[in-house]
Amino acid sequence: MENNFCIIMAGGVGSRFWPLSRSSRPKQFLDILGTGRTLIQQTYDRYSSIIPPENFLVVTSVSYKDLVLEQLPELNEKQVLLEPLRRNTAPCVAYAAYKVKTSNPQANLIVAPSDHLILKEEEFIRQVQNGLEFVKDRDALVTLGIKPSRPETGYGYIQVKKKVKFNNLDNLHKVKTFTEKPDSEMARIFLESGEFFWNSGIFIWSLPSILAAFDTYLSDISKLFAKGLKLYNTEDEVHFINKTYSECQGISIDYGIMEKAANVFVLTADFGWSDLGTWSSLYDNKEKDKEKNVINGENILTYDTSNCIINLSDEKVAVLQGLDGYIVAESNDTLMICRKEDEQQIKQFVTDVRIQKGDSLV
């Protein structure tokens, strides 16, 4: 257990959940499920049964340092890795991996987004433990693949090859291909083939394996972060990281390594996963009333309204009539009413509000 580390990626701004998610407090720091725990707290809770508190690292924006330490008091400042610029997930993973190398060169790593929903947590942890057992003595990169329940166009897909024999598992496969988000027709073909699984974005690997993969496929990034091995955990780390991020390309770990490497495996499972990337994904995972509305707010009256997700503050009295399939969301001084089917436009709404009304509203 002491060799197992968890890296939580928590730097996103969650703009697709605007106006509830703001750049000053994005969705990972919100209790959008109404459980009493924010998404990042739920992520920490999920892994804390198999990872000791001192073996967690959170990679986040400089702007969110105080939020992380406030919401995860189990961590100290050295466990919060601060990115000065957004550079996608590969630099994030490289920073954390080289930081871990300074204390445990033989570590096994779980890399997890901070804002996912897992409904079947016992099954999830069982699969994570299977993954940790598989990678600890192998040069292997493992991702968790989700059995698709619908022809979803919002997720990336993993195509599997033959099963791999290991500890009587029947759900470990060699990866054939990674595929970006498909159109609806291709997603239907993927679903019917039985060979494709949703890419959860949750990874498991040994530290030597991922560093070797960086050396092979993203050597420029690897060389940049390797220069800091004597600077991590010193007062010079901040200056070094600020300089490194200014020189570092922005690229995802999926595109930079996972789609290219030959030693990639997938553990396929069904543990009630959602990336909670959109209002519609939240709608899909919340309890609905008899009109198929998801309502968050104490003083909302609906008439002839169905298939909506409504998120308003408890002190706001709201009356909604004649809506079908809408998002109605309010936060502080901002109200958004948008058709669910058009929610891909929310990022454009955020851009327009920033330009026309100022940064304080986004």
Cα dihedral: 183, 186, 187, 189 (round 10): 170
Quote the CA–CA distance of 127 and 165 in Å, as a whole number. Answer: 15
Q: Where are the domains of the chain?
A: 4-274, 282-357
In the prediction, which pLDDT does 179 show? 87
In the prediction, which pLDDT does 14 show? 87
Torsional sign, CA 201, 207, 213, 215: positive
Integer CA distances (angstroms), 207 to 103, 110, 174, 319, 352, in order: 11, 10, 20, 55, 42
Cα dihedral: 130, 160, 149, 204 (round 10): 30
In the prediction, which pLDDT does 126 show? 96
- What is the model's pTM? 0.94
One digit per residue, pLDDT tens: the chain, 362 residues?
Answer: 789 999 999 999 889 999 999 999 999 999 998 899 999 999 999 999 999 999 999 999 999 999 999 999 999 999 999 999 999 999 999 999 999 999 999 999 999 999 999 999 999 999 999 999 999 999 999 999 999 988 988 889 999 998 999 998 999 999 999 988 899 999 999 999 989 999 999 999 999 999 999 999 999 999 999 999 999 999 999 999 999 999 999 999 999 999 999 999 999 999 999 889 899 999 999 999 999 999 999 999 999 999 999 999 999 999 999 999 999 999 888 999 999 999 989 999 999 999 999 998 99
Domain 4-274, classified CATH 3.30.9.10, yes or no:
no
Residue type, 264: V
The DSSP element (H or E) to which 360 belongs, if any, is: none
Quote the CA–CA distance of 258 and 268 in Å, as a whole number. Answer: 16
Residue type, 24: S
